[in-house]
Amino acid sequence: MDNSGTVLMPGGVRDLLSGEARQKRELENNLLKLFQLWGYQEVVTPTFEYYDVLAPALGDLLPDQLYRFIDDRGQITVLRPDMTTPIARLVSARLIDKEFPQRLCYAANVFRRESHTGRQREYYQAGVELLGAEGPDADAEVISLAAESMKLGGVREFQITVGHVDVLAGVLQGAGFSTREYEQAEIALSKKDLVTWERLVADSHLSPERKQAFASLPYMHGGVEVLNQLAGLIQDEPARKGLASLCRVWEILSDYGFRDQVKIDLTLLRGLGYYTGLVFECYVNGVGYPVCGGGRYDELLAKFGYPCPATGFALTIDRVLEALDNQFPSFTDQIPDYFITGDDMGDVAGKAKELRENGFIVEVDITERPREDAIAYASRKGIPHILVMEK
């Protein structure tokens, strides 16, 4: 690598300078405090784990999206690409004797290789996992907590879109697609490729009215009225159950006061292949990617030998900061309340200790510069109180 004067960094990672780092830390602390208020307990898992252990549970993340390396024993290890999988591993391996439901939370960085150089590859996330609880009440708790997290982050306007894997499957089954068409339809909807979707519906054997209803599926986007429209499109039992649970979730969210923020859109399909029921994403105007996402993953823990229903979400701290940056431009450095210089370091330190104990931010002059230079420095920095302790 030719450095020739510049210090290089790999693509997709970045430094956080003091203002931004402080904002990130505060956000993480506040989120963890919020999660605790809802009864969630923080856990920490290792940054890297065995590839063979995590790989079967990583859904549709491709091996080349992972940072893999060989450890000193020749084992393939992987930097965690998300927190849900390591927590599923942790619960199955170590927490099955505890009473369920278990509520766990985290704030951690995750790593994904992206094909575009320059695209972000290290993300900070905070999230929760609710393990051992099935049913809409658990789903609603997790979505409400996600909404509270957005509010707490200071994001003024956000929207949560909710979908359901089983309801969508029921709708697609009702269209009488062949296996191949079914797969194409699923891919088209997940990519929001409505051109392909409309062509598949047009080529199907549905009656003209049914065709029209199916073609409008991607446009069924809104409140509880969408659930009524969907009822006409499904026949099978899991889908009916899914629809009923969506209704119930909608009611609970309304009780929590989030009726206006929540929209139903069945074509919401989250990338990771492990989702099994209700799924959701949060969006903020002006941020081009979802800020937060999650859902139910009832089959994931079974991959670690302990079948157990579960749901959760992860909020991407970097994107919340981006949303806040759009609202209040520019991060500022923290300015100390006091600057203390003096003839005797003992006096200075004593005064500083006293002020700090009272909660003030105190910067002590530790340089050998002339006094006027020290004072000029503190004024340039905008420190409101400058103390000079003379003998």
Partner 1 sequence: MKEDMITFALPKGRLLPLVTGILRDAGLFRVDMEKDGRKLIYQDEENNARYLICRAADVPTFVEYGAADLGVAGKDVILEQGKDICELADLGFGKCKFVVAVPAAKLELYRGGLSGYLAQHGQLRVATKFPRVAESYLRSRGLPGEVIKLSGNIELAPLVGLAEVIIDLVSTGRTLRENNLVAIDEITEATARLVANRVSYRVKYDRLYSFIEAIKNSR
> How many residues bind to partner 1 according to rule CB under 8 A?
23
What tokens appear for 387 in the block? 């103390």
Q: Which of residues 72-131 bind partner 1 (CB under 8 A)?
A: none
What tokens appear for 160 in the block? 């949560």
State yes or no: residue 265 binds partner 1 (CB under 8 A).
yes
Question: What binding mask, one character per residue, do residues 172-191 give for partner 1 by CB under 8 A, x or -?
Answer: -------------------x
* Nearest distance from C-beta of residue 161 to partner 1, angstroms: 5
Among 151, 221, 248, 356, binds partner 1 (CB under 8 A): 221
Among 286, 346, 350, 384, binds partner 1 (CB under 8 A): 286
DSSP string covering 333-386:
PPPPSEEEEES-HHHHHHHHHHHHHTT--EEE--S---HHHHHHHHHHTT-SEE
* Nearest distance from C-beta of residue 233 to partner 1, angstroms: 20
* Nearest distance from C-beta of residue 221 to partner 1, angstroms: 5
CA atoms within 13 A on the CB side of 59: 17
- Residue 164 in contact with residue 242, Cβ under 8 Å? yes
State yes or no: residue 63 binds partner 1 (CB under 8 A).
no
DSSP strand pairing (338-342 vs 385-389):
parallel
State yes or no: residue 159 binds partner 1 (CB under 8 A).
yes
Question: With CB under 8 A as the contact rule, which of the stretches 200-208, 230-238, 287-295, 302-310 interacts with partner 1?
Answer: 287-295
State yes or no: residue 14 binds partner 1 (CB under 8 A).
no
Question: With CB under 8 A as the contact rule, which of the stretches 156-164, 170-178, 230-238, 364-372 interacts with partner 1?
Answer: 156-164
Question: Could you identify the residue written with the tokens 């080529």?
Answer: 203
What tokens appear for 366 in the block? 């530790």
State yes or no: residue 289 binds partner 1 (CB under 8 A).
yes
State yes or no: residue 151 binds partner 1 (CB under 8 A).
no
State yes or no: residue 327 binds partner 1 (CB under 8 A).
no
Among 161, 245, 276, 311, binds partner 1 (CB under 8 A): 161
DSSP strand pairing (262-264 vs 158-164):
parallel
Query: Cβ-count burial of 224 within 10 angstroms (0-12 exposed, 13-18 middle, 19+ buried)?
Result: middle
Residue 165 vs 284, nearer CB to partner 1 = 284
Residue 261 vs 341, nearer CB to partner 1 = 261
- Residue 129 in contact with residue 108, Cβ under 8 Å? no
* Nearest distance from C-beta of residue 234 to partner 1, angstroms: 22
Q: Which of residues 189-218 bind partner 1 (CB under 8 A)?
A: 191-196
| CA pair distance 163, 167, nearest whole angstrom | 8
| CA pair distance 106, 183, nearest whole angstrom | 35
Task: Output the CA–CA distances (angstroms, integers) from residue 324 to 24, 152, 284, in the order listed.
Answer: 11, 12, 10
Q: Which residues contact partner 1 by CB under 8 A? A: 157, 159, 161, 191-196, 219, 221-222, 263, 265, 281, 283-290
